[in-house]
Structure 1
Amino acid sequence: MLDVLRTGRLVLHPVGTGDHRALLRHWTGPRVRRHLFDDRILCAEQVTEIIEASLHDFATEGYGLWALRFAPPDTGPDALDPFALLDPVPGAPLAGVVGLRRMEGPGHGLDVEIVYSLEPEHWGRGLAAEAARAVLDHAFEVLALPRVIAEIDEGNAASAEVAEHLGMRPYAGAFEGASDGLTRYVAERAGTPETVEA
């Protein structure tokens, strides 16, 4: 199943309706929503809309949001049953979310943004970078996207560090109508013409 991604410690499954309760809890946590939703508290209906949009994007674009869960200990790279990773681990708690979404607004064209969030108990362990690397590789190697943008609140040093760890570099251009208070990073697929310098 192409949409399921695997890292050394994590299994990434496209979010679905079965993740609704866990996503609502994750995204309304005060430390997570601070930089992800500008401290707005999402309601259940909004989470439903996000899940439905992600499912639509997977069907039409090949990307969306992935739920992060720790891989069971018997499913390492040399596991005998490669299909053991296709279904979410029963009862495994949500560790976070990572994904790709089309950027909206004037000046964005066909740009795609990478987003990521972790449960605070998992911060500082390199998991966001690990999951985001798998998604970025998927974006370039499988989907052949030309570039991926990260928009990060200026006060969110941890997310900026993840972007830098991924090899993303500061975006020197400007988006028409872009809001203030964001730092932008870009990663480009190898062989993509240089287009991001102002």
Structure 2
Amino acid sequence: MNEVLRTVRLVLHPVSMRDHRALLTHWTGPLVRRHLFDDQMINPVQVSEIIEASERDFASEGYGLWALRRGRWAAGADDPAPGDPLVGVAGLSHHEGPLGHGVDRQGVDWRGVDVEILYSLEPDHWGQGLAAEASRAVLDYAFGVVGVHRITAEIDVANAASAEIALQLGMRRWREGPAGPDGAAYYAADRSRWIGSRRIVDAVP
């Protein structure tokens, strides 16, 4: 199973400890953590635990978190060069809490538990369609390769941009979360509808 994904502008590699410093910088940025970690500052140990949880998920489930970097197509290379800046993160988790941090999975039967899509971008890359581009690749992989049945997204009610991305991806409003400024809305996409819609798109000349 090839876990490296490529889009028109991006290369997605499963996160690893080589990404630790870049992820710590990204996830502790005030604009990123506001919606991803409820504005809580995470520490290097937590970043290590998130990376380790993702690596376990790739080994057992076939999916996890991907680091996003720009493709170097103009230079004739597929992959980013070492040290190329992190654009953001996209991926899947079925853990409770931000990015599944700190959850003990032992003894838990995760079959039938919804898988959640997560994405974040460095602020200087906002408004370029990269989050939707990366998330579409993740959904294609999850539904088409891994065979996940349903994927959900939990989005802060104040995060209109993420809600718009979910709609662009064809996700539908699923249920309401807690009311108020700190509430959330839930979106969902299912495999049968996604595969059907992609076949229609692929059939258009």
- Does TM, scored on the shorter chain, surpass 0.5? yes
Letter in 1 for 2:5: L
TM-score (ref. length: structure 2): 0.81
Letter in 1 for 2:143: F
The match for 1:168 among 166, 171, 180 is: 171
Over 2 Å off, 4+ runs: none
Q: Corresponding residue for 2:136?
A: 133
1:188 aligns with 2:180: no
Q: Corresponding residue for 2:42?
A: 42
Q: Corresponding residue for 2:70?
A: 70
The structural deviation recorded for 1:91 is: 1.7
Distance 2:136 2:29 in 1: 24
Q: Once the two structures are superposed, what CA deviation does each residue of 1:51-99 show, in whole Å capped at 9, x if it has no partner? A: 0000000000000000000000247xxx6xxxx54x5522210000000
1:97 aligns with 2:89: yes
Specify every segment of 5 or more residues in structure 1 that has no aligned partner in the other structure, as ranges: 175-179, 193-198
Structure in which a larger fraction of residues adopt helix: 2
Asked whether the equivalents of residues 150 and 188 of structure 2 are also in contact (C-alpha less than 8 Å), the reply is yes
Distance 2:155 2:176 in 1: 15
TM-score (ref. length: structure 1): 0.84
The structural deviation recorded for 1:162 is: 0.5
Q: Corresponding residue for 2:61?
A: 61
Range with bigger deviation, 87-96 or 152-161: 87-96
Q: Corresponding residue for 1:15?
A: 15
The match for 1:156 among 154, 159, 172 is: 159
Distance 1:157 1:104 in 2: 22
**Once the two structures are aligned, what percentage of the paired residues are identical?**
63
Distance 1:167 1:72 in 2: 29
CA-based RMSD:
2.2
Letter in 2 for 1:92: D
Q: Corresponding residue for 2:107?
A: none
Specify every segment of 5 or more residues in structure 2 that has no aligned partner in the other structure, as ranges: 98-109, 195-205
The structural deviation recorded for 1:155 is: 0.3
Asked whether the equivalents of residues 168 and 186 of structure 1 are also in contact (C-alpha less than 8 Å), the reply is yes
